Amino acid sequence: MYDKRRVRQLIDLWLDEDTAHYDLTAQIMVEPGSRGRFFFNAREPFVVCGVEVAEMVHRAVDPDCGFEIKVADGTRVEPGAVIAVVEGDAQGILTAERVALNLMQRLSGIATLTARYVEEIAGTGAELVDTRKTTPGLRMLEKHAVMCGGGRNHRLALDNGIMLKDNHIAVCGSITAAVGRARAKAPLLTKIEVECDRLEQVEEALAAGADVIMLDNMTNDDMRKAVAMAGGRVPLECSGGVRLETIRAKAETGVDVVSVGRITQSAACVDIGLDEAV
C-alpha cells in the first residue's frame, strides 16, 4: 500500500536527478517521433514489486505511452518472464528506463528477501515485520515491498506508535515512569511498546501496562522465559541480530513477531532488463 500522489511527487525528483537538463544520448541517437516497444524481462527468479511505479515513471515522461502490466506485484517469476510491456515515443522510453528499472529492481529485491525470511518461519506462528531501517525517501515503497514478500509493516514513521527504548527510559528514570508518562500524554488509540533486554525489565513492563514488549538481543532461552512470563497478555517482539540462519530458532521460542532490519537494509537488487521487442 502506498500513496500514488506522493509517489508522483517523488518521481519528478528522481527524473530531475537522472536527466538534469535533458537526455543527451536519447536526443542525439533517436529521431524525434520514433516509436518503440520494449519488454521488462526477468533475468533471475524473484518476487515482483514496483511494476506500477515503473508505469508511473514512464507516464511521467510520456503520458501517451502504452504500458501493459503482465505480472502483478507480489508474484513470483522465473527467468524469461515478461513483467510488463511499454510502447510509445522511443526517446521517452529510453529516458525513463533507468529510473523505472532502478526502482523495480530495488523493490523486487526487498520483496524477494522478505519472502525467504517468511518461508523460514512458516508454521511457527510468528510473523515477520520490518523496521525503519529503510532508504531515505523510499520508505513508503520499501514497506510496500515487504508486504509483497509476505511480511508485515511495523511503524511506518515515528508518529505511528510509541516505542520506549533505553534512552527514553533512562530520561524518565524507570520503565514504570516512562509507560505512565506515555499513557497520560499519548493519543487515545496509540500503542506503547517497551524495549527490554533483561527479564526483570519484562516483568516491570508487564506490570506497568505496556501494550507490546520488544525482546532486544535476548538469548533464545531468555525469550522462552519471557513468553512464559507474559502468558499471552501482550504481544512479544523479537529483535536484534536476526539472520536467515537464526530466525527460525528465534521464532520457535513462542514470540509473536520477529523484526528484521536486513530485509530493507541489506536486500540486493534483482536483475531485470528492458529489451526491445523484435
Q: Give pLDDT, residue 113.
A: 98
Distance between CA atoms of residues 75 and 156, nearest Å: 24
Query: Of these residues, 8, 132, 133, 191, which one is catalytic?
Result: 133
β-partners of residue 40 are 84, 274
Cell 517521433, residue located: 33
Query: Of these residues, 120, 130, 142, 195, which one is catalytic?
Result: 195
Query: Of these residues, 98, 116, 132, 181, which one is catalytic?
Result: 98
Domain ranges, ordered by start, for the chain: 4-117+267-276, 123-265
Q: Give pLDDT, residue 1.
A: 79
- Fold that domain 123-265 belongs to in CATH: TIM Barrel (3.20.20)
- Which amino acid is present at 144? H
Residue 177: name the closest of 188, 239, 185 by CA.
Answer: 185
User: Is 165 assigned a catalytic role?
Assistant: yes
Query: Of these residues, 23, 89, 216, 237, which one is catalytic?
Result: 216
Q: Give pLDDT, residue 30.
A: 87
Q: Mean pLDDT by 10-residue block, N- to C-terminus, for the chain (278 residues)?
A: 93 95 89 94 98 98 98 98 98 97 98 98 98 96 98 95 95 96 95 98 98 98 98 97 96 98 97 91
Question: Which bin fits 174, alpha (ψ -120 to 50), beta or left (φ > 0)?
Answer: beta
Distance between CA atoms of residues 159 and 137, nearest Å: 17
User: Is 143 assigned a catalytic role?
Assistant: no
Claim: this prediction has a pTM higher than 0.85: yes
Query: Of these residues, 4, 43, 165, 198, which one is catalytic?
Result: 165
Q: Give pLDDT, residue 49.
A: 98
User: Is 133 assigned a catalytic role?
Assistant: yes
User: Is 250 assigned a catalytic role?
Assistant: no
3-state per-residue secondary structure call for the chain: CCCHHHHHHHHHHHHHHHHCCCCHHHHHHCCCCCEEEEEEEECCCEECCCHHHHHHHHHHHCCCCEEEECCCCCCEECCCCEEEEEEEEHHHHHHHHHHHHHHHHHHHHHHHHHHHHHHHCCCCCCEEECCCCCCCCCHHHHHHHHHHCCCECCCCCHHHCEEECHHHHHHHCCHHHHHHHHHHHCCCCCCEEEEECCHHHHHHHHHHCCCEEEEECCCHHHHHHHHHHHCCCCCEEEECCCCCCCHHHHHCCCCCEEECCHHHHCCCCCCEEEEECC
Q: What is the CATH number of domain 4-117+267-276?
A: 3.90.1170.20
Q: Answer positive or negative: Cα dihedral of 129, 134, 139, 142.
A: negative
Q: Give pLDDT, residue 278.
A: 66
